[in-house]
Amino acid sequence: MIKPDAVQRGIEGEILRRAAAAGLEIVASERRRLAMAEVEALYHEHRGKPFFKRNAEFIASGELVLCVVEGDGDIVGRVRDFMGDKDPARARKGSIRGDYGVDPARMERNLVHGSSSAKDAEREVALFFGAAGVMRGPRRPPRSRRGSGGSMSKPHRVAEKRRRRRKYLKRAARKRQAVILFLWIVYNVVVKKDLAFDPYPFILMNLVLSCLAAVQAPIIMMSQNRQEEKDRIRAENDYLINLKAEMEIRRLHQKVDLLLEEQIKTLFETQARQLNLLNEIHKKMEKHPSPGSAHQ
């Protein structure tokens, strides 16, 4: 969770960018304002403690960003290390709280919140994103580099070698059959050209090619359908990214306009004060002229 103080300072985009750079995959996110009942359900284990009311009121005071994060290994520990210590003064440099924390006196204003355990993470995801959790497709397993034996266990490596060997033997058997069929056709055309014509090899070749075409046609259609689905999903993701970027740019323009208005207002007030001071100095000089000016 990106808390209201980070959203008010406009650094939620930088936090999300850092999370992606750290290998934390954000599979769902939502920006909204929480009701007090939701906040109390989130921090129910702290109910009755002195800081509970102040913390709950702060979380419900403005908009925040809810995120579901996935990743390899101890994802809870990685997220908490990414956030840093609750006290910004003790948080390590490079963490969110270590780089952006500014108010150690108020611990609730520490920019981000993360689940303390996998059980709490499941509860919080169900609380904010529904009992069914986050709807998403299966995640692809990470690709292992060729030659990196440490990425797979020994049984998996043995099974992978057997699978590759079977695939190689099948490919070699098909090649042998094709070579034999080709030699048989050449033999019938060249060597037995003066004998009776044997149409069997040509019929067999036509049958084999027809079977291959019949098998390849649905495979090609399925691959095209999969590619179309991937293109559609990619287009939707690009649209959402562009929409979010436009919204962020609009918010930045609004902030810049607000800052310019404040600066212009401050400039006008400063100029008005300067004019008033000049008028006062002029009046004083008229009432009490200097001896040199009177002599002239």
Query: Which residues participate in catalysis according to the annotation?
Result: 113
Residues contacting 157, CB < 8 A, separation 6+: 149
Kindly tell me the burial class for residue 220, based on how many C-beta atoms sit within 10 Å of its own C-beta (0-12, 13-18, 19 or more). exposed
Question: Which has the closest alpha carbon to 106: 61, 44, 54, 46?
Answer: 54
- DSSP label of 38: H
Q: Report in angstroms the alpha-carbon separations of 26 from 16, 192, 236.
A: 8, 70, 16
Q: Are 93 and 99 in contact (CB under 8 A)?
A: yes
Asked whether 142 and 72 are in contact (CB, 8 A), the reply is yes
Structure tokens at 136: 């998403």
User: Which residues contact residue 60 at a Cβ distance below 8 angstroms, ignoring those fewer than 6 apart?
Assistant: 33, 34, 35, 36, 39
Do residues 101 and 111 touch, judged by C-beta distance below 8 A? yes
Q: How far is 95 from 85, CA to CA, in rounded Å?
A: 8
Residue with tokens 């699978």: 163
Distances (CA, A) of 294 to 280, 290, 291: 20, 6, 5
- Please state, in angstroms and rounded to a whole number, the distance separating the CA atoms of residues 162 and 165: 5
